[in-house]
Amino acid sequence: MAGAESRAGGRRLDTGAPVDGRHRGVSAATASRVLVAREVPGELGAHGGVSAATASRVLVTGGTGAIGGAVVERLRRGGAEVVFCGRDRRRGEALTQRTGAGFVPGDLCEPGAPEAIAAAALGLLGGLDGLVLAAGVVHRAPLSETSDADWDTLMETNVVAPFLVARACLAALADGGGAVVAIASGTADWPEAELGAYSVSKRALLWLTRMLAVEGAVR
Q: Active site residue: 35, 198, 202, 203, which one?
A: 198
In this structure, the chain runs to a length of 219
Which residues lie below 8 Å from residue 127, measured CB to CB, with a gap of 6+? 57, 172, 175, 176
| Catalytic site includes residue 63 | no
Decide if 66 contacts 164 (C-beta within 8 A): no
Decide if 85 contacts 61 (C-beta within 8 A): yes
Specify burial of residue 85 (Cβ count, 10 A radius: 0-12, 13-18, 19+).
buried
Distance CA(130)–CA(27), nearest Å, equals 11
Dihedral angle, C-alpha 101, 102, 105, 109, nearest 10 °: -90
Amino acid at 46: A
The strand pair at 130-133 and 179-185 is best described as parallel
Which positions are catalytic? 198
